[in-house]
Amino acid sequence: MGNNGGQATVLVVDDEPALREIYATFLEEDYEVKIAEGGEAALSTMDDDVDVVLLDRRMPRMSGSEVLDRLRKRGYTVPVMMVTAVAPQEDIITMPFDDYLVKPIDREGLLAKIDILVSQAHLDRKSREFYQLASKRATLETQDSFDHTASAEYQQLVDRMEMLRSELNETLDDLIEEEPRAAFQSL
């Protein structure tokens, strides 16, 4: 976590002042909060102390998608949650975010999602990718307008999830098998 005494830091990026203030109020009791008024401000505010980014998808001058791409190109792997009024469509499958929350949101739901993202920041790459894909799948499946049976990209997402699930299960099986051996050898 960031260098602020063990409390995780959340960067809130939204072009609407009222929403930035609401999110800060929701979060300030549990997290260190940084605020950015848009894409350029987010990129200049971002640093290694940030543990989670809440990112509005639709902003003037620089969209949340552009901000996300630039953060990833700069090497930031921090969990990013898109918080937006934009209903999710198939295009989210290829976006490198960790979670997607459609406005309006409530405090409890936001805190629960951030808690999960903070804990996932320490997971290995495969576990984190599995969660990202599961989040996208669940988000799309809640949309009545999305026909997952007709989407090749959606099927690729499901196939990748199954492959990751299998790999993660194998890793767990190997760890479970090694644990008793390691304990026995240490005697």
Average pLDDT, the chain: 87
Give CA–CA dist 132/144, Å, rounded: 21
Radius of gyration of the chain (CA): 18
Locus of tokens 């993660």: 168
Average pLDDT over residues 56-75: 95
DSSP codes joined into one string, 70-125: HHHHTT----EEEEESSPP-GGGGGS--SEEEESS--HHHHHHHHHHHHHHTTS-H
Model pTM score: 0.76
Domain ranges of the chain: 9-185
Looking at the domain covering 9-185, what would its CATH class be?
alpha beta
pLDDT tens for each residue of 132-185 = 899 899 988 888 888 878 889 999 999 999 998 888 888 777 667 655 544 444
Comparing 186 with 87, the larger pLDDT belongs to 87
